[in-house]
Amino acid sequence: MPWPFLHAFSLVPAKQGGSAIILASVALCCIMGESPNFAQVIRPRFVASNLLCHRLVSEFAGLGEDALQESKNGTVNYRVFTSTWNVGGVAPPDDLDLEDWLDTRANSYDIYVLGFQEIVPLNARNVVGPKNSSATRKWNQLIGDALNKNKTARTRREEEAEAREQQQKQQSSFGFRRVASKQMVGIFVSVWARSGVRRHVRSPGVSCVGAGVLGRLGNKGAVSVRFLLHGTSFCFVCCHLASGSKCGAVLLRNADAADILSRTSFPTAAGLPEKILDHDRVVLLGDLNYRISMDDAEARLLVSASKWGMLLENDELLLELSEGRSFEGWSEGLVTFSPTYKYHRNSDKFYWCVDGGTAPGGRQKQQRAPAWCDRILWRGKGLKQIEYERCGGYRLSDHRPVRAAFDAVCEVAGGAVVVDSFLEGHCTLR
């Protein structure tokens, strides 16, 4: 009887990629050869289904092998790019190229989570007035352009229209689509996923918690995004914590972090928790504002000699983590990069004035020691950090972007695999 072959069609392993479609085709050819009547019934439907299956292969070709590797216990791996950048209230120029920051040439990431702070100046008008969304539109445009840039060189004017059309086709199969985008005053999160992955993202949601003026306004706080990918819940928290290096400022940062984790709540959705810490995989990123806790004169000497390791021994966040006073249960990768703050804009020179001096009007210059303000933490057994670094080539603001890449394991409900779920919707033989 031919029916066992049909059953086998839905069980072809997804990790074999295009060969799954070929094996299924061979099985059906055997069936049709044995049963002419059955062939007459099934052939028209199979042809239509086969066309959709070819589309399936082309769409998943851009994911990379890691995204399609199924383990024996029904999981699939994705590579997630996360980054944080305090842009200091500076609007990005129209020609700002984000390809190096987003590492798009590697073409190895399935999901991008980008967190910003101070996308608008933190003045009274922006904090208490109507939302200024022009900055978010501009950043989303630059991000989309970088992720979906057409790699084909265009050398003649008459080819531009054809290239744009080709780009649209390419984006529909291999490009990135925005999953969520949310702004609260200067804090902004933009999440993107490959088209082949985006179809498996369900119930995206956002939550904003202000922790600034009066403990509630949005000049400080967090914007969080969560979603369900296959059977695994993800949550990404973009923070901007209390600033300052005076005595007691670290306690304010700890309080902000605890307040954000406690007050953030998402709308009820099937298969998803409401609180941050109840999600399966959680990444927290942002300008956490933790500074260096040591004598000022000693810090000056270490900065002058670029003794970053000795400075890190007095890093407030590392001290709080080691003592269990904040972020209990969270992990951070090894910090091997230079401080991320505070620089002169469009320069690699620290803003910290080692020789002292006065500002115009006789005021003493504000001296802020370099620090690792911009950090990325995570929690959840299914996350493995594979990269953690500073992006030194972007000098738009007094901060430098920091990025981290993760291998994320997703559980697939019922042991199904990525390709199977597509086949069920588009290539089922009836």
* pLDDT, position 296: 76
Dihedral (CA of 215, 380, 83, 417) sign: negative
Please say if the pLDDT value at position 26 is more than 70.
no
Side by side, the strands of the sheet bearing 111-117 are: 176-184, 187-194, 111-117, 75-86, 402-411, 383-390
Q: How far is CA 211 from the centre of its chain?
A: 23
* pLDDT, position 368: 72
Residue type, 7: H
Report the distance separating Cα 429 and Cα 48, nearest Å.
10
Please say if the pLDDT value at position 287 is more than 70.
yes
* pLDDT, position 269: 94
Are 101 and 391 in contact by the 8 Å Cβ rule? The answer is yes
- Predicted confidence band of residue 363 (pLDDT cuts 50, 70, 90): low
- Tokens for 347? 């320069």
* pLDDT, position 60: 43
- Predicted confidence band of residue 159 (pLDDT cuts 50, 70, 90): low
**What is the per-residue pLDDT across 224-236, written as a single tens digit (0 to 9) for each?**
999 999 999 999 9
Please say if the pLDDT value at position 6 is more than 50.
no
* pLDDT, position 298: 87
Q: Which residues pair with 350 in a beta bridge?
A: 343
Q: What is the secondary structure of 108-139 as a DSSP string?
A: --SEEEEEEE-SS---HHHHHS----HHHHHH
The SS3 of residue 292 is: strand
Max CA pair span of the chain: 96
* Range with lowest mean pLDDT among 62-66, 145-149, 249-253, 384-388: 62-66
- Burial status of residue 318 (CB atoms within 10 A of its CB: 0-12, 13-18, 19 or more): middle
* pLDDT, position 19: 44
* pLDDT, position 168: 57
Q: Name the strand (E) or helix (H) holding 23.
A: helix 18-34
For residue 422, CA distances in Å to 54, 199, 383, 384, 418 come to: 12, 9, 25, 27, 7
- Selection from 418, 346, 355 nearest residue 87 by Cα: 346
Q: Name the strand (E) or helix (H) holding 260.
A: helix 249-263
Alpha-carbon Rg for the chain, nearest whole angstrom, is: 25
Q: Which residues contact 146 (CB under 8 A, 6 or more apart)?
A: 97, 98, 99, 101, 102, 104
Give the pLDDT mean for 253-276: 97
Domain range annotation of the chain: 3-65+417-426, 75-411
DSSP class of residue 72 equals T
Helix axes 36-61, 160-174, angle to 10 degrees: 110
Please say if the pLDDT value at position 208 is more than 70.
yes
Where are the extended beta strands (E) located within 262-373?
281-287
* Range with lowest mean pLDDT among 123-137, 150-164, 267-281: 150-164
* pLDDT, position 225: 98
* pLDDT, position 304: 86
Q: What percent of the chain has pLDDT over 90?
A: 63
* Range with lowest mean pLDDT among 21-35, 252-266, 331-345: 21-35
Please say if the pLDDT value at position 158 is more than 50.
no
* pLDDT, position 241: 98
Find tokens 């600033």 and name the residue.
243
Residue type, 33: G
Q: What is the pTM (predicted TM-score) of this model?
A: 0.78
Q: Which residues contact 355 (CB under 8 A, 6 or more apart)?
A: none
Give the pLDDT mean for 49-67: 44
Q: Name the strand (E) or helix (H) holding 378.
A: strand 374-379
Tell me what the pLDDT averaged over the chain comes to: 81
**What is the per-residue pLDDT across 99-153, written as a single tens digit (0 to 9) for each?**
999 999 999 999 999 999 999 999 999 999 998 899 999 999 999 999 998 544 4
Give the pLDDT mean for 382-400: 97
pLDDT: which is higher, 2 or 209: 209
pLDDT: which is higher, 62 or 389: 389
The SS3 of residue 75 is: strand
- Confirm or reject CATH 3.60.10.10 for domain 75-411, answering yes or no: yes
**What is the per-residue pLDDT across 402-427, written as a single tens digit (0 to 9) for each?**
999 999 999 996 554 444 444 433 33
